[in-house]
Structure 1
């Protein structure tokens, strides 16, 4: 085993450096070093004795909706609110045989208990055979849940979120998202790549460590399928028209040269914000350096404003929607949909019968009122 477990460095945008390594059970591990990092080039070898990886899950077709459901029983064994000294995303110590063997700035690795993968379309006998195959309805249809699920650690700290990071660190994470989007999109059978962050126990988060995830799906997700249908009916310039419409409203909360954040006209959640690039980019891999630079500062300010609405941190899901790999890339635009169930300081919106069973949403807070509160909170942040 070499003295360092990492491959030769690769320099990405903004001076971010990527180093590739492997975990003890063969999972891929990538280190993304900040520009000007204080870390040295060597990375410790993962010397743990690990059980073999679980078998890839199986998807089942819901013939009533056309949705594919991945039945991933191995996820039942994932960590649940461990103490800080046993944080599985912190750098390894003799007392904590965690998932990452070396100190890091940003680290990305394959999930130990994935919903999709580790098998890819070239590995699995019953892998999906394209989008037409997945669209075919029938009772008892199954396919192997090929793809990839990755964990993105924003920091070695044991507590925090994306919004608690420095602007330099945020820029490193954005570069990692772009790099992983390109790599995962090229894997056999992957149809869509989805970076996201779940924040807060009210959302169901089981680790306080600042981190997000990336799912590489073997299908186009139901939400994106509906978006593509809307684009087909209205035109590929839909996002340009949405931006023009929202810019003329009272729902804009932040605006830069390259990005605008707004509460959407028909928000589903009590607190919902979209962040959209002004130029069409299908995914993070298609964004430019200046767009990524501005996003690092603008996104941090947005998240800190979301936290400042109340006296305690706000639970949220930060979902980065990206165009599918093989369809709809001329109209579906990269954008953030940040949602929170928090409808008051001490109240959460739970999905009741109309939303959960019928998908028929009832708004609790007028979007214009939500935008005003969020603008006020952002205005009070330190410059």
Structure 2
């Protein structure tokens, strides 16, 4: 079992240690954060865009956040005498803490359900950082399965905790990996945003899922039906396991796009069983290793966990799944979102989903456990 210990940093932010199963670490007595940080500031703003009906966060205070510091000044490495970091301990396994420069929060509350031109309010919510390892170099794909399982437990625990906070409408764990994505810290880490509104992308996905669910009389889910169709077709499957499968979607938008989907309909990571989390720890590592094996250098990506919003109208049809995307279209080329994509939201993909899936199936990765295998275009079970 993962050991979970909560403490408080010197400015009042919460920090939580998640220690690997079998760890003998004793966090009960500290160590304390001795930096004497100033009190936290007020949240930024959210403003209503009447042209689109969407909320926009205004977070000008983030202009001063830490940006690609040298390794000996990394804020999420363990604390040393010369680097009193965000993490007071001299060592750790996985740590989650409130972001010192949050886009949302630290205050909590509700924003209006609807707005007009000029509607604004505090940017309620919560932003957390998830450090995957005390090691400054490497990436998630380098973690052991034990450590991967600890991260998944952290995602699940934080999803449940953040979902229970007042005013929260959606919880989003994600990882930005690589300078080409725009990371501000090299240390392997991810983030979790707890929004006071349903985000535009989640609203679009939720509306489609809800419509499909209603048209089936509540018997089927859209994501579940897509998973079934992809497994039956087989040409875009990347891997299949007992509880999870991964595929390149039929209408992939990005040069590299993979969806990882549980076979069972669950709304979020918190709803996964222990056995499902165990398999996910392996499957997710396998998928990331395949992505990194495509080119001579590590692949930049965004790993986005789509969880059902907390809005009851969207939650029943919501279906947990990962969308992992990368703008990398060749070893030395990136896809930039220019006129059609950025201005119109009309994506034009430079690769075919079938060829990308074939490459991901064929790359050489460390041997997988019996729970998961790479599928082939022929003979994929329904």
Displacement of 1:38 in angstroms is 4.5
1:196 aligned residue: 174
Question: Is 1:293 equivalent to 2:278 in the alignment?
Answer: yes
Q: Is the 8 A contact 1:54 1:113 kept in 2?
A: no
1:12 aligned residue: none
For residue 246 of structure 1, the aligned residue among 227, 230, 236 is 230
Question: Is 1:19 equivalent to 2:33 in the alignment?
Answer: no
2:93 aligned residue: 105
Question: Is 1:118 equivalent to 2:87 in the alignment?
Answer: no
* Structure 2 CA distance for aligned equivalents of residues 164 and 174 of structure 1: 15
SS of residue paired to 1:21: strand
1:211-246 per-residue CA deviation (whole Å, 9 max, x = no partner) reads 000000000111111112112322252122111111
1:334 aligned residue: 320
2:371 aligned residue: none
SS of residue paired to 1:201: coil
Q: Is the 8 A contact 2:230 2:237 kept in 1?
A: yes
Question: Is 1:344 equivalent to 2:322 in the alignment?
Answer: no
1:303-345 per-residue CA deviation (whole Å, 9 max, x = no partner) reads 0000000011000000000001232222111100000000000
* Structure 1 CA distance for aligned equivalents of residues 211 and 10 of structure 2: 49
2:249 aligned residue: 264
Matches within 5 A, 1:1-20: 15-20=1-6
Return 5+ residue gaps in structure 2 as ranges. Answer: 214-219, 368-382
1:121-158 per-residue CA deviation (whole Å, 9 max, x = no partner) reads 1xxxxx41xxxx33x24111102111100000000111
* Structure 1 CA distance for aligned equivalents of residues 80 and 195 of structure 2: 34
Displacement of 1:29 in angstroms is 0.5
* Structure 1 CA distance for aligned equivalents of residues 121 and 262 of structure 2: 36
* Structure 2 CA distance for aligned equivalents of residues 30 and 335 of structure 1: 25
1:60-103 per-residue CA deviation (whole Å, 9 max, x = no partner) reads 11111111111011111111111111110011111101100002
For residue 142 of structure 2, the aligned residue among 137, 141, 164 is 164
* Structure 1 CA distance for aligned equivalents of residues 210 and 173 of structure 2: 25
SS of residue paired to 1:242: helix
Number of residue equivalences: 357
Return 5+ residue gaps in structure 1 as ranges. Answer: 1-14, 122-126
After superposition, the CA RMSD in angstroms is: 1.0
* Structure 1 CA distance for aligned equivalents of residues 258 and 355 of structure 2: 13
SS of residue paired to 2:336: coil
1:370 aligned residue: 356
1:11 aligned residue: none
SS of residue paired to 1:97: coil
SS of residue paired to 2:324: strand
For residue 193 of structure 2, the aligned residue among 205, 215, 218 is 215
Displacement of 1:43 in angstroms is 2.8
1:77 aligned residue: 64
Q: Is the 8 A contact 2:175 2:191 kept in 1?
A: yes
Which deviates further from its counterpart, 323-332 or 36-45? 36-45
Q: Is the 8 A contact 2:221 2:319 kept in 1?
A: no
TM-score in terms of structure 2 length: 0.92
Question: Is 1:56 equivalent to 2:40 in the alignment?
Answer: no
1:205 aligned residue: 183
2:375 aligned residue: none
* Structure 1 CA distance for aligned equivalents of residues 25 and 188 of structure 2: 19
Question: Is 1:90 equivalent to 2:77 in the alignment?
Answer: yes
* Structure 2 CA distance for aligned equivalents of residues 237 and 39 of structure 1: 43
* Structure 2 CA distance for aligned equivalents of residues 364 and 137 of structure 1: 38
Q: Is the 8 A contact 2:97 2:128 kept in 1?
A: yes
